[in-house]
A and B are shown apart, each in its own frame.
Chain A
């Protein structure tokens, strides 16, 4: 809600909608990496667009408004998906931040994708300062949705990463809840 009020963040709208659709597809059992799902969705939409355009051509000037509008809407969806994929490619490939907590033993961080699967390749935390840098591939896995913080003897805690936080260095509080 907060993000939608900022006019600049309206640009993110196609990406957010694409995120939602990909999440829905994952929920119905099509459990694939984000990029594969997005390409699958794009193929479906392009197929629908091809069918819609075939009905319009060759005499599209005399076509009725409804088929024209349908084709236009499908084309817009295809553009939205492409925009979403493009926006995903522009995301930073790392999440940098700091874990703050008292007396944590060997804290670690992991990035999770929309399926709740670990997508980060490294997750060590500086034992003195709590700083960390976790790399992942946003182009393939989609935006990192969750930062999981864990420490020896403590229950792991999942923190939602909003899109706006991806490029910033955030301090994440972690209070140890004993296992």
Chain B
């Protein structure tokens, strides 16, 4: 009987201890309410700290009891949560601990850093309509500044370019070894942009985009009198990775001016579009895998980056250099 009582007391004490163990959870969103994935959430108690990335819904979860020594946890009066993501201002949240009391879920909104803080209310309102759905990987196109385009009108040309660019990008990524079927899309933003790269990055950061495409074009006459639309594009990769940063890639396209409304415009578009997107996906997934210490994911990323590098051709030197830097960073992480 004594043994039974002792065992029951021990079980009760253990249960009480488990119930008191704080479970830290919450979600991180941008100011516009869009869920922010890949935010590094660090939980800190004295000198001990550990981190995890947010998932596609911006959610995170820690079981503090498995992370910190029980004695430290009992003695602690608070935990500090630190949120960081490239392109956003970091935020901290102090969580008060009360013995035996469950912690309320934390909701944090991150402000975009740098240029996007200069976005005015009207711009934010416009961009909010294009906020990505949870789990989607959006790319955005800021309408090209086109000169010499009269028929069809520039708006129709931008619509046709968007549809054809999306097709080129999605087809390339599906045919690549990226795997995991990322839900890619290219949305046309109804904003002015053209050549303002800083502004374009600010929009991309605000929208938590994978990349932003912008540029300008002009109709030119060739040697034999054939007219073509020459477009110079800037592909801004929005996620950042250590040693690679957030690359800016340039893509030039040359399309016959008399078939700008053609649904087969994609045949004239550069292969760099797809390759640049794979690089952007690599950077985005690398950050996630690194934070989670997911070696399998790192190996998969390395594999598709190497395949992309091997398929690169003349004129892809800038992209290859970025791919090399990223593969090197992945290798370094795999070697740890």
C-alpha gap A96/B78 in the complex (Å): 10
C-alpha gap A105/B82 in the complex (Å): 15
Select which of A94, A121, A127, A135 is within 8 A of B92 by beta carbon: A127
Nearest chain A CB to B102 CB, angstrom units: 20
Whether A5 is near chain B, meaning CB under 8 Å from some CB there, is: no
Whether B155 is near chain A, meaning CB under 8 Å from some CB there, is: no
With A96-B77, A124-B82: A106-B90 Cβ-Cβ less than 8 Å: yes
- Complex contacts, A105 vs chain B, CB 8 Å: 89
Whether A129 is near chain B, meaning CB under 8 Å from some CB there, is: yes
Q: Say yes or no: A122 contacts B92, CB within 8 Å.
A: no
Smallest CB-CB separation from A136: which chain B residue? B46
With A121-B47, A122-B46: A133-B92 Cβ-Cβ less than 8 Å: no
- Complex contacts, B227 vs chain A, CB 8 Å: none
With A96-B77, A121-B46, A121-B47: A126-B94 Cβ-Cβ less than 8 Å: yes
Whether B188 is near chain A, meaning CB under 8 Å from some CB there, is: no
Whether B268 is near chain A, meaning CB under 8 Å from some CB there, is: no
* Residue among B44, B77, B80, B82 with the highest chain A CB neighbour number at 10 A: B80
C-alpha gap A132/B81 in the complex (Å): 11
Nearest chain A CB to B76 CB, angstrom units: 9
C-alpha gap A166/B253 in the complex (Å): 67
Interface residues of A in 36-71 (CB under 8 A from B): none
Whether A125 is near chain B, meaning CB under 8 Å from some CB there, is: yes
- Complex contacts, B80 vs chain A, CB 8 Å: 122, 124, 126, 133
Q: What are the 10 closest A-B residue pairs judged by CB atoms, nearest first?
A: A126-B94, A131-B94, A127-B91, A124-B92, A121-B47, A133-B78, A135-B46, A124-B80, A127-B92, A126-B92
- Residues in B lying within 8 Å of A, measured CB to CB: 44, 46-47, 77-78, 80, 82, 89-94
What 18 additional pairs, Cβ within 8 angstroms, besides A106-B89, A127-B92? A94-B77, A121-B46, A122-B46, A124-B92, A124-B94, A125-B92, A126-B92, A126-B93, A126-B94, A127-B90, A127-B91, A127-B93, A128-B91, A131-B78, A132-B94, A133-B77, A133-B78, A133-B94
